[in-house]
């Protein structure tokens, strides 16, 4: 995950002085083929060690390179 951060906060993180970062709880998805944009609220997030993920996810080295993945639960549209 790459996140832009102001230099003052970057320096604090680098120096080990900042241990928590807050972000808006949404993800903007962009379709690679069409460019269509979809914004979804994140209603929960959990961390999972790679070893406990389903094999199709665990073995996808192009998509995941870290040993821990973030599992975002997205708000469902009301019908």
Residue 1 lies in a domain: no
Residue 44 lies in a domain: yes
**Residue 24 contacts residue 40 (beta carbons within 8 Å):** no
Residue 66 lies in a domain: yes
Residue 28 lies in a domain: yes
Residue 15 lies in a domain: yes
**Which strand (E) or helix (H) includes residue 44?**
strand 37-49
| Whole-number CA gyration radius for the chain | 16
Return the number of other C-beta atoms located less than 10 Å from residue 5's C-beta. 12
The whole-angstrom separation of Cα 35 and Cα 29 is 9
Residue 64 lies in a domain: yes
Domain range for 29 is 7-74
Confidence band (pLDDT; 50, 70, 90) for 8? very high
Dihedral of alpha carbons 47, 49, 54, 56, sign: positive
If one counts the domains in the chain, the total is 1
What pLDDT does residue 27 have? Answer: 94
What pLDDT does residue 78 have? Answer: 60
- Give tens-digit pLDDT for 32-68: 999 999 999 999 999 999 888 888 888 888 888 899 9
What pLDDT does residue 56 have? Answer: 85
Task: Kindly report the pTM of this predicted structure.
Answer: 0.72
């Amino acid at each position: 995950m790459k996140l832009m951060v102001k230099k003052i906060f970057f320096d604090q993180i680098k120096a080990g002085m900042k241990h928590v970062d807050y972000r808006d709880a949404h993800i903007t998805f962009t379709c690679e083929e069409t460019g269509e944009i979809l914004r979804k609220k994140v209603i929960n997030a959990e961390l999972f060690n790679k070893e406990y993920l389903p094999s199709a996810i665990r073995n996808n080295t192009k998509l995941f390179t870290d040993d821990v993945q973030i599992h975002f639960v997205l708000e469902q549209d009301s019908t």
